[in-house]
Amino acid sequence: MAALPPGSTIGILGGGQLGRMLATAAAQLGYRCHIYAPPGDNVACDVTAAYTIAEYDDLVALKAFALACDVVTFEFENVPVTPLESITSLVPVYPPLRALEAAQDRAAEKQFVRALGGKTAEFAVAQDESAVPAAIAAVGIPCILKTIRFGYDGKGQSRITDDGDIAGAWERTGGQPLIAEAMVSFDAEFSVILVRGQDGEIRFWDSSQNLHVGGILAKSTLPAGPLVESQQQAARDMAAAVASALDYVGVFTAEFFASAQGPLFNEIAPRVHNSGHWTIEGAVTSQFENHIRAICGLPLGATKTLAERVEMENLIGDGGERFEQILADPAAHLHLYGKAEARPGRKIGHVTRLYR
């Protein structure tokens, strides 16, 4: 596909903060953005040229949206694939729908990565409630139950620490097919974030070490430390193999555990990622700009880190109330997402601090 010229329209499926930051990066390069999202607090609409509020299975609205765009992308992986198949003949869609399918099924995702030589925690599938005890027995206790589809930020998960936790686990985890995943011993969590162009070129950002609290990313820091740095290349090789096998275009994220056995694959996100927010100020080219460059067929930007130390902190719940204090810090770069309500566990912004 020839490069899309400035002035073209980029369609973004999803109206959250990732769409908001993608649209901001696109505007800087001279593109218009059109958001498509179901009803809700669609903060991306505040910064875009156009938006359509409709359900993802509204094929009439989805077709009209596609015809108004020159390329379509998505800001999160839980967009239903089947309706999107109706627009791929109307407009290029990047990343490809195959990447969405891979990310929407935890079991298939892990099997796909294993087939490419990646290492994962042991897991077993339970398609119904009666299969839960056997799945837990297959991986052992302690373990964690995760819904196969549509879980993120700790949602759709239940920890099993003793036999007493098994009763009611199906309902606690959402009453839908799930995997039982063995608890792994690890010393750090980290992300590999890459961008892959339409010509297959791949560039990586430095990996951050990630701290999760309650299943939600709380902080990402660079440098990530000797252990992560020693495993970064092997993890990059694995992430690149997955992205290439999917014929991926755009920013791609793979999360890993740094362990004594080397990097253990956790999950993929076929999109820009929370742990890459630091790249807005901390890298030559942000993940958001490079995603726009990739899907528009433009040359990829440099990904070098610009500071000796970088820290990205998520502002969760009422964390945004510290905005004056944050703005008084000369090292801080504040991003508030404009969400209407600050609820416990809800990401309402982030702050990146650069130390040179």
pLDDT digits (tens, 9 = 90+) for 44-60: 999 999 999 999 999 99
Report the candidate in 311, 310, 319 with the shortest Cα–Cα distance to residue 337: 319
**E strand or H helix that includes residue 10:** strand 9-13
Whole-number percent of the chain with pLDDT over 70: 98
Pair 253, 275: CB distance under 8 Å: yes
Q: How far apart are CA 19 and CA 297, in angstroms?
A: 19
pLDDT tens-digit profile of 266-286?
999 999 999 999 999 999 999
**E strand or H helix that includes residue 82:** helix 81-84
Q: What is the pLDDT of residue 174?
A: 78
More confident site: 108 or 151: 108
- Number of Cβ within 10 Å of residue 260's Cβ equals 9
pLDDT bucket at 151, cuts 50 / 70 / 90 = low
DSSP 155: T
Q: What is the pTM of this model?
A: 0.93
| Mean pLDDT computed over 319-330 | 92
Pair 285, 302: CB distance under 8 Å: yes
Report the candidate in 18, 13, 12, 14 with the shortest Cα–Cα distance to residue 349: 18
DSSP 41: -
Q: What is the pLDDT of residue 154?
A: 54
Q: What is the pLDDT of residue 30?
A: 98
**E strand or H helix that includes residue 22:** helix 17-28
Predicted confidence (pLDDT) at residue 155 exceeds the cutoff of 80: no
Q: How far apart are CA 182 and CA 248, in angstroms?
A: 29
pLDDT tens-digit profile of 226-263?
999 999 999 999 999 999 999 999 999 999 999 988 99
Identify the burial level of 223 via C-beta atoms within 10 angstroms of its C-beta, where 0-12 means exposed, 13-18 middle and 19 or more buried: middle
